[in-house]
Amino acid sequence: MAFIKPFKALRPRKEFAEKVAALPYDVMNVSEAREMAKGNAYSFLHISRPEIAFPAGMDYYSAPVYEKGRENLERFIREGILVKDTSDCYYVYRQKMGAVVQTGLVVCASVEDYQGGVIKKHELTRADKEEDRFRHVDYLDANDEPVFYTYKSDPVINEIVDDITRSEPEYDFTTDDGVTHIVWLVSASEKIEKLTAEFACIRTLYVADGHHRSAAASRVREVRKEGNEHHTGLEEYNYFLTVIFPDNQLNIMPYNRVVKDLNDRSIAEFMTKVSERFSVMPVHSAYSPSRQHHMGMYLEGKWYQLVPKHGSFNESDTVSRLDVSILQDNLLSPVLGIRNPRTDQRIQFVGGIRGNEELERLVDSGKYRVAFSLFRTSIEELMDLADAGKIMPPKSTWFEPKLRSGLFVHELK
């Protein structure tokens, strides 16, 4: 059963919330982060992406970078940009993006639940990214960005949360991308106790987004536990910052792929190999698949529809029947030679929010040779696979809207 607990969040004063709030660290590169924070001394990117303070060519995984993150967090506290609540609270966080509305509960989740399987994963982590997040959290002495979890929607929890949202919010602002962010404080002890008790009846939480942050929180806890001869299991490092949403509110978009070359094949050779396992049909405009087992391919300024041929995948297997797996097993690996997409530098992943225009731009720029647009993975597929203890290919899901960083910080001391 899921254990959650309230905490005293370090969070922005009302007048600073909109300026502080920033996109998650992993949805932009360094130059993009530097541009986003330009002219905004309050941007949380100064904490979550401290490398923006250093020149290009700097080793962004060196100690001075992590130390800069801690220095900036201390500055935000010292200058009163971030203030810590005086009592333990839960927080309700609602996001509106067009017709999409998702309302989650901000809590501290248990590392023991993560290690014991109550919190289920669907992706493997990359060692370098996990190490980076581990060092970042350890230097900060805080979880500065929440992990995105989901659970099977529960009517009792929904009713409690809905009741909370009828009160006056603490924050209510709309960011430049048109997403509205609304936050309510939950400080009443009876509501805190009720929510804690109801989540204790939830059998499973699922990682939607944030596998590296979850793994980093687990590593931080183990290191600190080993170094604390008086460890009790109740220290703040035993818990980590999460936002938990009901599954029926989540919006998943595809996670597309671009590849730098054709693996030393000519276009004719490449198309011949692709045609062995896919039906290939030219289309007149950018192709965004509208159903499962249909894919788009952009090559040499032209779009094609790809449909896997019968027998090219195992429809009864929860992993093999995913479109990301079909593409990997029938094209990326055997044709383009990308055996391990987690580590191969020839492939990059493009979130669906960027659209086919970004795929065309990357290929037309000459930096990449071919792009693939996919149909989204469903939340049901994610949960079924996680329940079966299986792992998706990397970058199988792109959730939108993204949680804003900086609205809640969980200190580990």
Q: Is the pLDDT of residue 280 over 90?
A: yes
Q: Is 289 helix (H, G, I), strand (E, B) or coil?
A: coil
Supply the pLDDT for residue 208: 94
Output the six-digit token pair for 198: 């109801």
Q: Name the nearest CA neighbour of 113 among 246, 204, 201.
A: 204
- What pLDDT, in 10s, does the model give residues 11-31? 999 999 999 999 999 989 999
Average pLDDT on 288-295 reads 96
- What pLDDT, in 10s, does the model give residues 65-111? 999 999 999 999 999 999 999 999 999 999 999 999 999 999 999 99
CATH code linked to domain 255-375? 3.30.1760
Q: Is the pLDDT of residue 161 over 90?
A: yes
Supply the pLDDT for residue 162: 97
Supply the pLDDT for residue 394: 86
Q: Is the pLDDT of residue 343 over 90?
A: no
Round to whole Å and give the CA distance between 213 and 328.
Answer: 26
Angle between the 63-78 and 127-140 helix axes, to the nearest 10 degrees?
40
Domain with CATH 3.30.1760 in the chain: 255-375
Alpha carbon dihedral 213, 217, 222, 228, in 10-degree steps, equals: 150
Place 126 in a pLDDT band, splitting at 50, 70 and 90: confident
Q: Is the pLDDT of residue 124 over 90?
A: no
Output the six-digit token pair for 11: 């969070």
- What pLDDT, in 10s, does the model give residues 305-333? 999 999 999 999 999 999 999 999 999 99
Q: Name the nearest CA neighbour of 407 among 93, 80, 25, 4.
A: 93
Round to whole Å and give the CA distance between 252 and 250.
Answer: 6
Average pLDDT on 40-54 reads 97
- What pLDDT, in 10s, does the model give residues 382-402? 999 999 999 998 889 999 999
Supply the pLDDT for residue 127: 87
The whole model's pTM is what? 0.92
Q: Is the pLDDT of residue 274 over 90?
A: yes
Let me know: does 224 contact 22? Beta carbons within 8 Å: no
Supply the pLDDT for residue 68: 98
Supply the pLDDT for residue 298: 98
The fraction of the chain above a pLDDT of 90, given in percent, is: 94
Let me know: does 103 contact 161? Beta carbons within 8 Å: yes
- What pLDDT, in 10s, does the model give residues 196-239? 999 999 999 999 999 999 999 999 999 999 999 999 999 999 99
C-alpha distances in Å from residue 141, one per residue of 6, 12, 67, 129, 236: 18, 18, 11, 18, 10
Place 2 in a pLDDT band, splitting at 50, 70 and 90: very high
**What's the start-to-end Cα distance of the chain, in Å?**
26
Average pLDDT on 357-361 reads 97
